[in-house]
Amino acid sequence: SARASADRVRELVATPPAQQFGTADEPPAGPVHLELRGVTTPTITVPLNLAVPPGRQLGMVGPEPVIDELAALVARERRPATGQLLVDARPAAEWSDDGYRARVLAAPREPELFDGTLRENLTLAPDGPLQAEADKALDAAIWASASGDTVQGLPAGVDEMIGEGGQELSGGQRQRIALARALLHADDLLMLVEPTTSVDPITDREIAERMREFRAGRTTMVACSSANELAQADEVVFFGEDGAIIARGPHESLLALDAYREVLS
């Protein structure tokens, strides 16, 4: 059994990457500008042209398959069938892995927590004392995700063991901790997919307002059906089943569309 497992590991290690990335690795300079230019995929069948203004918060509403496809493109888990995804005017495929990750973080719809302390899950680093600046950033991310009550309710605070998959936490607590982790690690562009589906409406509104403040001046894409989150966005893009943009504008103006209100309800 061990030899068979070792053979499978060896085969995986020897397999070439599914995608080859470039070598561009310039240091970040200001908020990220992301653009999809004439992009199509098996799900997005109408060429999509979408520019995400740097330093702004963009809400996105649409069918789940379209949103998941967009998230996969932004995360570079998938390449467009046609067209290009550009980051700071450079095709995404030309960025090195480190260069791209320094600019863009697309948090998964279903984030995973692992068996360890809450601190380890948030910082993705070994347990132990943090430097003052890192500790300050951690506290800010916990505040922005409204996770303070979760931390305070644990006997050892951020140093409490939370179990495999965060089994010691409720669904809403797990989601807020995963959000805090994404906020902590995304310096530039951050894409979130339904980050508050498991929290109550009051906490949802609190998170929406705090996240807006926390991410001020940085590029943020939030795909959701939360009216609280969408109201905080500078503008919202409403997608159809084929990925075409039905409408784009402030949340308040899109409420005039029956189809848009139906999605939110």
Tens digit of pLDDT for each residue in 221-234?
999 999 999 999 99
- Does residue 242 lie within any of the structural domains? no
Q: What is the pLDDT of residues 116-172, one digit of tens each?
A: 999 999 998 754 445 555 788 999 999 999 999 999 999 999 999 999 888 889 999
Distances (CA, A) of 140 to 26, 30, 148, 244: 28, 21, 10, 37
CA–CA dist 243, 255 (Å, integer): 20
Indicate the pLDDT class of residue 199, thresholds 50, 70 and 90. Answer: very high
Would you call 250 exposed, middle or buried from its count of C-beta atoms within 10 A (0-12, 13-18, 19+)?
middle
User: What pLDDT shows up at residue 25?
Assistant: 85
* Bigger pLDDT: 30 vs 8: 8
Phi/psi-derived region of residue 103, left when phi > 0, alpha when psi is between -120 and 50, beta in every other case: alpha
Note the maximum CA span of the chain.
63
- Does residue 55 lie within any of the structural domains? no
Would you call 102 exposed, middle or buried from its count of C-beta atoms within 10 A (0-12, 13-18, 19+)?
middle
- Does residue 254 lie within any of the structural domains? no
Mean pLDDT of the chain: 92
User: What pLDDT shows up at residue 88?
Assistant: 93
Give me the domain span that covers residue 178: 111-185
177 near 150, Cβ under 8 Å?
yes
- Does residue 45 lie within any of the structural domains? no
pLDDT at 6 over 90: yes
Strand order in the sheet with 48-52: 48-52, 34-40, 82-87, 90-91
What average pLDDT does the segment 12-25 reach?
A: 84
- Total domains in the fold of the chain: 1
User: What pLDDT shows up at residue 110?
Assistant: 86
Q: Which two tokens stand for residue 67?
A: 């949103």
Q: Which two tokens stand for residue 144?
A: 């922005």
Task: Return the closest-CA partner of residue 55 out of 76, 77, 34, 86.
Answer: 34
115 pairs with which residues across the strands? none
- Does residue 175 lie within any of the structural domains? yes
CA–CA dist 158, 167 (Å, integer): 15
- CATH (domain of 127): 3.40.50.300
- Does residue 20 lie within any of the structural domains? no
User: What pLDDT shows up at residue 122?
Assistant: 93
Output the CA angle 225-227-229, nearest 5 degrees.
85
